[in-house]
């Protein structure tokens, strides 16, 4: 007789492990299945985010920024540093240690909350049975009252640049370079491409980003995107927009790529090429034909607003379903589903999921852009405050960018907060909290913000919505 659980979660990424812990906390007998193994052949929890995504990339971004500051930014503070060097293998080893500590921490949380961890590849069968194939080929079938699918996503491959994880790498391979490439090509100017390009660019690589779209960061607010493109250009990133890759050839340890842009056929040679054109849901061998779960035309699992699939008692969350592929979105969906199973009512506010690009300066946003709102026919008032006028930013010698707040022209309710600059991710989160409670720009303007802080820029942008900013000259409101 097969073992039975109240909840079985397939996948231990930021959606899956959070769902499993929450379900166990709510008193349900819970198991979580994970197939990913680390370099030592041991099961590693945490999914893409902890192992080869969010966490390791941020570790490298911080290391690279500290190196850049020591080499280029300390002199203005009166600090003299000679012969700054970067030990790349040591940087990579530090990143790996952080990953190991965090993934091990999840194992400890599973034990503390009573979650059963099962190693192997999970596959949903009919009648909410889950088949698990271990690394040794052993097959075990488990039964569940409820199943949560959180299988995650993986990098998209493109025929013109087949990944070999040596010269041509995906986002995973780009986290393991043992030396700084002199010439680095990046295919795709999205979040991953810009972050990884920034890492190696700060360490001395000549970085060229090849982007097929004509518009830079098309989902971001136009004003933010234009500022970002200008800043990245000054930092040395050569961003080629409207450039379509047509082919590549690896020879003698380097890669020559061919692409077309407004000037016609182009060719460039790189020591390393990162392919970062997006991610796709992991649904291969995940669903038996008679499982009853359906996919949409793009290969995502079809779910409703509360992540329920077409089969009662089966849910799907995170990167395998609609919406942005973000760890925090997956985590909140995991909590929502676990609580729904337990009979509690919870709902994710999909209109207020922040997005962040961890370049320097950071880029972050929540809510709608000015272009979206105007396209929807919504009259808005806009307030912008530059970090160049922030005392705290000046003290830190980090004054690039601005805070932008968009409010409904009639109700003054905040509809969007967009930031490019220092601590953008933290400032946007303050905006998200305000928006969750329906705050107006006036509400934010009436709040007391600590001085001197970067958050004062949010306060001043809120005041600027109605032309009442103190520390900049206000634009006349029509």
296-320 confidence digits (pLDDT tens):
999 999 999 999 999 999 999 999 9
Distances (CA, A) of 320 to 154, 299, 414, 452: 10, 8, 31, 43
- List helix spans (H) across 38-133: 47-52, 54-68, 88-113
In whole angstroms, what is the distance from residue 148 CA to residue 467 CA? 49
Q: Do domains 4-155+280-348 and 168-277 have the same CATH topology?
A: yes
Q: Tokens for 347, please give them.
A: 């709902």
Q: What is the pLDDT of residue 477?
A: 59
Active site residue 328: no
Q: What is the pLDDT of residue 476?
A: 66
pTM: 0.96
Q: Please check the confidence at residue 1 and state whether its pLDDT lies above 70.
A: no
Architecture of 352-465 per CATH? 2-Layer Sandwich (3.30)
Residue identified by tokens 């193994």 is 37
Dump pLDDT digits (tens) for 363-378. Answer: 999 999 999 999 999 9
Percent of the chain with pLDDT over 90: 97
Which has the minimum average pLDDT: 36-50, 88-102, 103-117, 189-203? 36-50
Distance of CA 210 to the CA centre of its chain: 20
Q: What is the pLDDT of residue 39?
A: 87
Mean pLDDT of 153-163: 97
Q: Tokens for 369, please give them.
A: 């852009």
The answer to whether domain 168-277 has CATH 3.50.50.60 is yes
Confidence bin at 450 (pLDDT 50/70/90): very high
Tally helices (H) and strands (E) across the chain. Answer: 12, 22
Q: What ranges make up the beta strands (E) of 192-304?
A: 206-210, 238-240, 244-251, 254-261, 264-270, 272-275, 279-281
Distance of CA 349 to the CA centre of its chain: 18
CATH superfamily, with its number, for domain 4-155+280-348: FAD/NAD(P)-binding domain (3.50.50.60)
Q: What are the domain boundaries of the chain?
A: 4-155+280-348, 168-277, 352-465
Q: Tokens for 2, please give them.
A: 């097969």
Out of 68, 451, 459, 471, the active site residue is 451
Q: Please check the confidence at residue 40 and state whether its pLDDT lies above 90.
A: no
């Amino acid at each position: 007789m097969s073992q039975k659980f109240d909840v079985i979660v397939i996948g231990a990424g930021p959606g899956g492990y959070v769902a499993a812990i929450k379900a166990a906390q709510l008193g349900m007998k819970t198991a979580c299945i994970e197939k990913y193994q680390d370099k030592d052949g041991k099961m590693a929890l945490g999914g893409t985010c902890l192992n080869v995504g969010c966490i390791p990339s941020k570790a490298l971004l911080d290391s690279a920024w500290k190196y850049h500051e020591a080499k280029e930014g300390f002199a203005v503070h009166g600090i003299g540093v000679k012969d700054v060097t970067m030990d790349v293998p040591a940087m990579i080893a530090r990143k790996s240690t952080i990953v190991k500590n965090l993934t091990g921490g999840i194992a400890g949380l599973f034990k503390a909350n009573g979650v059963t961890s099962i190693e192997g590849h999970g596959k949903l069968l009919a009648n909410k049975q889950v088949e698990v194939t271990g690394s040794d080929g052993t097959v075990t079938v488990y039964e569940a009252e409820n199943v949560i699918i959180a299988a995650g996503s993986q990098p998209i491959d493109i025929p013109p640049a087949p990944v070999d994880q040596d010269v041509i790498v995906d986002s995973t391979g780009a986290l393991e370079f043992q030396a700084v490439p002199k010439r680095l090509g990046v295919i795709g100017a999205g979040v991953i491409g810009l972050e990884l390009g920034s890492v190696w660019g700060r360490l001395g690589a000549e970085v060229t980003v090849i982007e097929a779209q004509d518009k830079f960061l098309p989902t971001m607010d136009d004003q933010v995107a234009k500022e970002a493109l200008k800043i990245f250009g000054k930092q040395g990133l050569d961003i080629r927009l409207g450039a379509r890759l047509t082919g590549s050839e690896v020879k003698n340890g380097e890669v020559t790529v061919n692409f077309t842009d407004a000037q016609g056929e182009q060719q460039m040679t790189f020591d390393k090429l990162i392919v970062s054109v997006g991610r796709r849901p992991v649904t291969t061998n995940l669903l038996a034909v008679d499982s009853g779960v359906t996919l949409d035309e793009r290969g995502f699992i079809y779910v409703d607003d509360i992540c329920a699939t077409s089969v009662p008692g089966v849910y799907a969350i995170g990167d395998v379903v609609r919406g942005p592929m973000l760890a925090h979105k997956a985590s909140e969906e995991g909590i929502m589903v676990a609580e729904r199973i337990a009979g509690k009512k919870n709902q994710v506010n999909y209109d207020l999921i922040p997005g962040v690009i961890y370049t320097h300066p950071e880029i972050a946003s929540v809510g709608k852009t000015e272009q979206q709102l105007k396209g929807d026919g919504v009259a808005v008032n806009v307030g912008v405050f530059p970090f160049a006028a922030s005392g705290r930013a000046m003290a830190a010698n980090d004054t690039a960018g601005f805070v932008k707040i968009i409010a409904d022209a009639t109700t003054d309710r905040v509809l969007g907060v967009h930031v490019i600059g220092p601590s953008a991710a933290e400032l946007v989160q303050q905006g998200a909290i305000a928006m969750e409670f329906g705050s107006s720009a006036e509400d934010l303007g009436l709040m007391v913000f600590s001085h001197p802080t970067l958050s004062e820029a949010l306060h001043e942008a809120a005041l600027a919505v109605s032309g009442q900013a103190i520390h900049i000259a206000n634009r006349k409101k029509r």
